[in-house]
Amino acid sequence: MPTFLRILVLAGIALASLPAAADELVLNGSGIRKRVIFEVYSIGLYLPKRVSSAQEAIASPGPKRIDIRMLRDVSAEQFSGALAEGIRENHSEAEARALEPSVKQLISIMAEVQEAKKGMLVSLGWDGKATQLRIDGKGVGAPIEGEDFYRALLRIWLGEKPVQENLKKALLGAAQ
């Protein structure tokens, strides 16, 4: 993706979150998820304050949000499957098993959405009580209880086995 277009996409993530500024989150970092040679989505991590370590980002108290702007069409099954795989990769078998009900709830919500279409904004937000999935700013499905689940989601990108190492660095504020 040309540099100018990349800057526009990343700026779009920041601008898309302006209505949510009331929760006083700041953009910690952003980047592009690539799979083989394809750019799949741009992603921004919003936290109460900027941090530079994955552990701080995952453990930070208060609201948090991941905004994903789709750069190509992806089926709900592929999208939720990739999230479930990222959770399994960053947790022990017992931890992953304990998270299964929440993962299944997310998969069910994504199945209702049917497809993460190019241009769609998928937000995964933690409000201090539950994870809420939003599509283009509108809440979808029931909130998913448990901070352990939201932290598991963060580990997909910030864990010991992130989906993409340079994306992890970008979400922690390093230039991509």
Residue 37 lies in a domain: yes
* Predicted TM-score (pTM) of this structure: 0.85
- State the pLDDT at residue 18: 44
Longest dimension (CA), the chain: 44
- State the pLDDT at residue 24: 86
With a cut of 60, say whether residue 1 has pLDDT above it.
no
With a cut of 70, say whether residue 154 has pLDDT above it.
yes
Tokens encoding 123:
């937000």
Residue 104 lies in a domain: yes
What average pLDDT does this structure show over 117-138? Answer: 96
pLDDT > 70: what percent of the chain? 86
Interacting residues of 85 by C-beta distance below 8 A, sequence separation 6+: none
Tokens encoding 40:
């799949």
What average pLDDT does this structure show over 114-132? Answer: 96
Residue 176 lies in a domain: no
In angstroms, rounded to a whole number, what is the distance separating the alpha carbons of residues 59 and 154? 10
Over the stretch 18-67, which tens digit does the pLDDT of each residue have? 444 445 899 999 999 998 889 999 999 999 999 999 999 999 999 999 99
Domain with residue 56: its CATH number is 3.50.70.10
Residue 125 lies in a domain: yes
- Which region among 20-24, 63-67, 113-117, 123-127 has the lowest average model confidence (pLDDT)? 20-24
Q: Are 176 and 32 in contact (CB under 8 A)?
A: yes
Strand order in the sheet with 26-35: 26-35, 38-47, 64-70, 121-126, 130-135, 138-145
Partnered with residue 24 across adjacent β-strands are none
How many distinct structural domains can be found in the chain?
A: 1
Domain that holds residue 40: 3-171
What average pLDDT does this structure show over 127-135? Answer: 96
- State the pLDDT at residue 17: 46
Residue 30 lies in a domain: yes
Average model confidence (pLDDT) across the chain: 89
Query: What is the DSSP-derived secondary structure letter of residue 50?
Result: -
